[in-house]
Amino acid sequence: MRIILYGGSFNPPHLGHVAAAQTVSDLLHPDLFLVVPDALPPHKELEEGSPSIEERLTLCRLAFRELPNVQISDATLGRKGRCYSADTVAALREKYPEDQFVFLLGTDMFLCFEDWYRFEYLLSQCALAVLPREDDERSALEQQAEKLRRKYGATVALLPHEPLPMHSHVIRDRLRRRLGSDMLDDAVYSEIIRRRLYDAQPELSWLREKAYSYLKPKRIGHVAGCENEAVMLAVYWGEDPETAAEAAILHDITKKFKPEEQLQICEKYGIINDHDELENPQILHAKTGAALARALFGVSDAIAEAIRWHCTGKPDMTLLEKIIWLADYIEPNRDFPGVEKIRKLAYEDIDTALGTALGMCLAHIRESGAEPYSDTVEAYRWYSRNED
């Protein structure tokens, strides 16, 4: 059985890694393709704050899932100290004593191969498959291949490949700046955002696409309007506009769910509802939306709380909570008596705008014959400084 061994830190596994693996798979047709993430690479330090080996194993399972005959090996899991390839191969050789190993590596590692720990053992156990990065490297690679063949009897194959111009350290930096989704498989990027690995912040265009898939088509315009208004309010009042955008994009992701579905989400995430909420299931989407935003997109506490209170409001809201509540109320698609007054107040005195708008909400609810939710009453009292 021919087994490809593809080691690395995979921090994170990106489309360039997958493309290289696909090239080798297409050319060599292995019976088994083992991707082996290093717990601690031998040639470099992992960047501080890097995901654990368990987390990188999960990312690799997602990244390489469509490659034929692929398995993600946990051979370095639990290993103390540096993960030398010779030790990994020795461990795998016990599991596959009679099989052919083909060790995959790139230009830099191949050119310094004689500096590797127990490199001669590796050559005795594995053929080498080398993927060049640039055409002008070919001559140096051929010289190195011939040298290893002559001195050590190595089996070396230089494979044709056009690498994608990607580097993990660049991707890590981009992830912190709401970039990088184009360099990662969508499932990998989604998992990174869900866990907020690498201090990643979601690209807003990506987040819109994901969030809008949860909405009825007619609600997308409202959510887009809410985002635009939230960003303008954030800029005006000194809140981070991208944080406000993230909260606004996600604020209605469970709005379309029926009452029984809302209750199922509450049960799933351990949300306890009081009597008033059970009597007014239309307001549950704020709590379930916050829970789902945490579970799917790893939002911060501040964003989750802004989503949580965007429907009813509450006393003493944070600036972000105020912005999302008001943006939801006055976004450009809203058209009702008094909305222009609130729009003007929102850029003059945000607390007065809240008090006035909450009073209008209470009046509308009571005119409809319903009993307003207690948090809305308390929020009105706080921001109006008057007894209702």
* Chosen domain end from 138, 166, 194: 166
In a domain, 250, yes or no: yes
* Structure token digits, residue 92: 């795998």
Place of tokens 């429907």: 311
Q: Which residues of the chain have pLDDT under 70?
A: 134-136, 279, 281, 386-388
Q: Which amino acid is at 380?
A: Y
User: What's the pLDDT at 42?
Assistant: 78
In a domain, 174, yes or no: no
E strands within the chain?
Answer: 2-8, 32-37, 70-72, 100-106, 126-131, 156-158
217 shares a domain with 159: no
Q: Which of 60, 84, 85, 71 shows the shortest CA–CA distance to 10?
A: 60
In a domain, 271, yes or no: yes
User: What's the pLDDT at 46?
Assistant: 85
How large is the C-alpha radius of gyration of the chain? 28
CATH number of residue 29's parent domain: 3.40.50.620
216 shares a domain with 155: no
| CB-CB neighbours of 260 under 10 Å | 8
* Chosen domain end from 134, 166, 198: 166
pLDDT digits (tens, 9 = 90+) for 213-266: 999 999 999 999 999 999 999 999 999 999 999 999 999 999 999 988 998 999
User: What's the pLDDT at 81?
Assistant: 81
* Structure token digits, residue 151: 């001195």
137 shares a domain with 230: no
* Chosen domain end from 166, 199, 223: 166
In a domain, 194, yes or no: no
DSSP per-residue letters across 325-372: HHHHHHSTT---TTHHHHHHHHTT-HHHHHHHHHHHHHHHHHHTTPPP
User: What's the pLDDT at 32?
Assistant: 98
Q: Which of 35, 27, 41 shows the shortest CA–CA distance to 71?
A: 35
Q: Provide the sign of the torsion angle of the four alpha carbons 278, 280, 285, 291, taken in this order.
A: negative
Domain, as residue range, for 151: 2-166
In a domain, 201, yes or no: no
User: What's the pLDDT at 388?
Assistant: 40
Nearest 10 degrees: CA dihedral of 305, 308, 311, 315?
-50
Interaxial angle between packed helices 217-237 and 204-212, expressed in degrees from 0 to 180 and rounded to the nearest 10: 150
239 shares a domain with 293: yes
pLDDT digits (tens, 9 = 90+) for 41-67: 877 778 888 999 999 999 999 999 999
Interaxial angle between packed helices 204-212 and 284-297, expressed in degrees from 0 to 180 and rounded to the nearest 10: 130
Q: Which amino acid is at 2?
A: R
Distance CA 189, CA 180 (A): 8
User: What's the pLDDT at 134?
Assistant: 66
CB of 145 within 8 A of CB of 156? yes
User: What's the pLDDT at 387?
Assistant: 40
136 shares a domain with 50: yes
Q: Which of 90, 267, 325, 299 shows the shortest CA–CA distance to 193?
A: 299
The total of structural domains in the chain comes to: 2
Paired residues of 105 in beta bridges: 130
User: What's the pLDDT at 150?
Assistant: 96
CB of 358 within 8 A of CB of 386? no
In a domain, 179, yes or no: no
305 shares a domain with 215: yes
* Structure token digits, residue 290: 């916050």
User: What's the pLDDT at 68?
Assistant: 93
Q: Is 350 exposed, middle or buried (0-12, 13-18, 19+ CB in 10 A)?
A: buried
Q: What is the pTM (predicted TM-score) of this model?
A: 0.93
